[in-house]
Amino acid sequence: MDAANVNWLAVLVATVSTFVIGGLWYSPLLFGKAWMKAADMTAEKIKQANMVKTYSLAFVFTLVAAINLGFFLAAPEVHAINGALYGFLTGFGWVLPALGVISLFEQKNWTYILINGFYWVVSFTVMGLILGAWK
């Protein structure tokens, strides 16, 4: 894990990719309505939120995740296909179960767990694809 082998532009693009995926994932086209119901979210709550703060901190947290994945995938032998696989395994094997545990203790339902968990599975898969392909 050498910082010199990390493609920092790819890390930034991988970070932004999660926002693109999230924009579609949580839109009415896909899971937006189901997520709002499962999360007990309303349009009024969203209007009252400080979205600059929310998006800024979400970007920082996602950037940290992309940097971390970038270090793991910086080895020269990693390419697009195994980068996507390692991203998938990160999302499915670590993030989804961790989110599931927290959500269960918060008494969230399975819809909430699956929508949010698989958002991260897809996001990490795409991040891994970008980081593996862009050397």
Q: Would you list the domain boundaries of the chain? A: 3-133
The C-alpha atoms of residue 23 and residue 5 are separated, in whole angstroms, by 30
Q: How far is CA 77 from CA 9, 45, 82, in A?
A: 19, 46, 9
Between residues 3 and 96, the one the model is more confident about: 96
Taking residues 56-79, what's their average pLDDT? Answer: 97
Tokens representing 95? 């993030």
Q: How far is CA 96 from CA 3, 33, 102, in A?
A: 27, 21, 10
The C-alpha atoms of residue 114 and residue 45 are separated, in whole angstroms, by 22
Per-residue pLDDT at 1 exceeds 70: no
CB count, 10 Å around CB of 38? 19
The confidence score (pLDDT) of residue 27 equals 97
Q: Average pLDDT, whole number, for the chain?
A: 96
Residue with tokens 């969230």: 108
| Residue 4: band (very low, low, confident or very high) from pLDDT cuts 50, 70, 90 | confident
Distance of CA 66 to the CA centre of its chain: 9
DSSP 3-state assignment of 26?
A: coil
The confidence score (pLDDT) of residue 131 equals 98
Taking residues 66-91, what's their average pLDDT? Answer: 97
Residue type at position 71: F
